[in-house]
Amino acid sequence: MSKLWLYYVLTLILFLFLIILTSWFVFPVFSKSAINIIAPLPSFLNRLENDQVSMLGLWFPQTDKVKGSSIEKPEIRAEAAISYDLTINQTLFEKNIRKKLPMASLTKIMTAAIALENKKEDDRYLVLKDSLVGENSMGLTEGEILSLNDLLHGLLLVSGNDAAEVLAQNFPKGREKFIEAMNKKAKSLGLTDTNFTNPSGLEGDGNQYTTAYDLLVITRYALSSFELFRNIVSTFEFTVPYSNDHKEFYLQNETNLLTSYPGVKGVKDGYTPEAGLCLVTYLDYKGHKILAVILGSSDRRYEMRELLDYSLESENLSSPSHKYQE
């Protein structure tokens, strides 16, 4: 009887040992030492540490080699510039693309992306007194309530600083968390040379900068992720009709060659004395989707036109007939 009891005890011990051993290899996450080594991604790409991480967010443009061309390159005097063909995934032109520079209202491209990813369920955005900042505005008044769609039109067509602040201040956890989300999103896109200190691009409240390379990635992300963003930036004029919550707004896109360069579909302009004239433009022409960025220019429209002409001609495409607008 005692031998039989001993047999059962030994069998049970062996069984438990096998279970523990199997669990150690099959479920290593339960071991403390395993937890310390299960982290193949850097912290800024870890969903637990960066809530702005998106599995579809990473894109690395090919900038190590610029497409060769026999035609003469344009003289771009801007501080930095890049032209990139998204269709063939190749750089067509580059100048100082990793140089950190102020971005002015090109900031609002990221502001729009964060707002679109964090929509309010009731779609009612209250205008606070603190939202009414800067010279560029869509004309908001304290106490008005607008929809996300209306604010995004004001943000992207007339570069409304007031619209940017309303979106940030209506963020679930407040303005500072909105700016934190902007920076986390940049990091989640694999970018290391961009920093946001406000949602509008105004100077004077911190060290806000980016690069032509980073803006290329940010803009491509916004265009590829949000249909509403694509539609708005390609819109020339938009009217927000009067309602009991707000007055009527007439908004007109002031730049981006929308009415003068065939194939241009937006995206955004910017200016401060510190940043100079800045412009991001998206061109969809004869089967080629080209995204171009200019930072620190003294004549952004002329230089963007020259850059787009060169980009098309380097692809053996004749540039369209267009007119230059001052």
The confidence score (pLDDT) of residue 59 equals 75
Element of type H or E holding 288: strand 288-297
In 10 A of CB 56, how many CB atoms? 8
Q: What is the residue-averaged pLDDT of the chain?
A: 87
Q: What is the pLDDT of residues 11-23, one digit of tens each?
A: 666 666 666 655 4
170/173 Cα distance (integer angstroms): 8
256/98 Cα distance (integer angstroms): 23
Is the pLDDT confidence value at 24 over 50?
no
Confidence band (pLDDT; 50, 70, 90) for 256? confident
286/292 Cα distance (integer angstroms): 16
Are the CB atoms for 291 and 86 separated by under 8 Å? yes
285/262 Cα distance (integer angstroms): 8
pTM: 0.83
In 10 A of CB 21, how many CB atoms? 10
The confidence score (pLDDT) of residue 310 equals 96
213/111 Cα distance (integer angstroms): 18
Q: What residues contact 272, with CB distance under 8 A and at least 6 apart?
A: 102, 104, 105, 201, 202, 203
Confidence band (pLDDT; 50, 70, 90) for 25? very low
CA distances from 215 to 3, 28, 251, 281, 312 (A): 77, 41, 25, 11, 21
Is the pLDDT confidence value at 135 over 90?
no
In percent, the amount of the chain with pLDDT more than 90 equals 70
Confidence band (pLDDT; 50, 70, 90) for 33? very low
In percent, the amount of the chain with pLDDT more than 70 equals 80
309/301 Cα distance (integer angstroms): 12
In 10 A of CB 296, how many CB atoms? 22
Q: What is the pLDDT of residues 72-91, one digit of tens each?
A: 899 999 999 999 999 999 99
Mean pLDDT of 30-50: 47
The confidence score (pLDDT) of residue 119 equals 96
Is the pLDDT confidence value at 116 over 60?
yes
152/191 Cα distance (integer angstroms): 24
CA 269, 270, 276, 278 torsion: positive or negative? Answer: negative
Are the CB atoms for 28 and 38 separated by under 8 Å? yes
Q: What is the DSSP letter of 221?
A: H
178/199 Cα distance (integer angstroms): 8
Element of type H or E holding 231: helix 227-233
Q: Which of 13-27, 113-127, 266-280 has the lowest mean pLDDT?
A: 13-27
The confidence score (pLDDT) of residue 43 equals 54
Q: What is the pLDDT of residues 175-230, one digit of tens each?
A: 999 999 999 999 999 999 999 999 999 986 679 999 999 999 999 999 999 999 99
